[in-house]
Amino acid sequence: MTYSKVLTAEEAVKQISNGDTVAVGGAGGGLLEPTSFLKALEKRFIDSATPRNLTFIHVTGIGDRKDGGMCHVAHEGLVKRDIGGHWDYLPKMAHLASENKIEAYNLPQGVLSQLFREIASGRPGLITHVGLKTFVDPRVEGGKLNKVTTEDIVEVINIKGEEKLFYPSFPVDIAFLRGTTADEDGNITMEEEAAFLDNLAIAQAVHNSGGKVFVQVKRLAKRETLHPKLVKIPGILVDGIVICPEQKQTIVSTYNPAYAGDVRIPTYNLESIPYNERKIIAMRAALELPDNGIVNLGVGISGSVGLVASEMNLSKEYVFAIEQGIIGGIPAGGIEFGVASNAHAITEAPSQFDFFDGGGLDMTCLGMAEVDIDGNVNVSKLGNRITGCGGFINIAQNAKKLVFCGTFTSGGLEVKISDGKIEIIKEGKFRKFVNKVNQITFSGDYAKETGQRVIFVTERAVFKLGNDGLILEEIAPGIDLHKDILSLMDSKPKVSSNLKEMDSRLFINLIEKEEDNHAKV
């Protein structure tokens, strides 16, 4: 029996015309990635050189940092413009942008997530403070990533004496989304997915733009057999369904029930983080955790703060929240960032960003690739490499307390940690504390205006952001102020008159010490 909404991915992509705008749902690491559509579109273009001059919009970086996800459609001629919230997961598309082969924009993840709701509602666009004084601000770069990108898609406006950014709405012709189960009427559930992301907002925006919504699912169910509370994309919005039984939850996990909330896993057997300079940074950052607070963690060193805090037996209660819509639980790291085991709740991403933008986060720990004397931070453009901001701007601009985590230098840094001290054996090749960051992903000036508390934690020093820029507040035991810190900074910070030594207990491997004591007993 053939159902009217069931079709192949090849049939779906044939409905794309030259010059269309295509929204692709999902997130990095294969989370909700509608892979079958991307592969089918690539094949159609290779076989027929059509469609051409498409505009793609994706809220996050969809891919695997190699050749998956949006890399399937990263072909010159197929793509005219790409508007993405993150670029690090799609290196082939980023290469087209860096070579000026396509028009390319990077806007905050939360802005794009919320903008789909504005498009769906017929409103003129999104008005928000998010992005002010960063590279997204049209007075800085306007989110443009290369020379061939010239059109302004962000405006500065004034409302009751306050500056805001205006991100105009635009029609979207096609949506590629993913769920778990579809019924014969196109109602979509997501019971095996690890997040809901922006699926509903995208489907509504495309439908109300007069476009077509296609959804990849794992299986098909009979009409009127799905529980209405489990339906995340109503069938009234869906034009076509593609059945893909082999789809995986992420590129790593075929199906992890802990990510979907179907089981809860024990936390006592989580693997300990190796004791090194990165762990020292995470431990020092953990000391800043608020009691009974809501905390966001980034990737890398900052992502390990929660686990380290547990090892330190800190007597504090806090709940983690990440931008993909997850509240509570144990956030996954690496390529699966964006999901969590043992989540308390899984919400839709636009609503999560509403909460973040309004100041709901008590604290966040984020990475830092470059920092300048004014407290500006760059994580979005490393040399000529385009990584993008993701949810960084929404989170960093709005959390009540912000702790940046990173080694003092990068590229081959070697240290020795013993007897409660740290010694620099080999300095990293690259300075992180520079005269001027390559791109402003976080604005120190904006933070000063809003009174945000900002701290920078490294393995050898802790800085805070003051009214006049960086202030050195703490120095690690065993570190020479001038040789190991000031001489390696392009611009010199103020040194606090009350300069303290970092807690020496951070430089003692407590787990190894406990193991030694047990062995002696």
Helix (H) or strand (E) holding 367: strand 363-367
Which of 323, 459, 473, 474 is catalytic? The answer is 323
Residues 395 and 264: their CA atoms lie apart, in Å, by 28
Q: How many residues does the chain have?
A: 521
The token pair at 475 is 């120095």
The amino acid present at 115, given as its one-letter code, is L
Place of tokens 């699926």: 199
The CA-to-CA distance between both ends of the chain, in Å, stands at: 72
β-partners of residue 277 are none
* Contact yes or no for 218/244 (Cβ under 8 A): yes
- The closest alpha carbon to 447, from 439, 455, 436, belongs to 455
Query: Encoding tokens for residue 139?
Result: 């007075």
- Round to whole Å and give the CA distance between 194 and 348: 11
DSSP letters spanning 190-222: -TT-S--TTHHHHHHHHHHTT-EEEEEESEEE-
Alpha-carbon distance of 411 to 117, in angstroms, equals 42
**76 annotated active-site:** no
Residues with a known catalytic role = 323
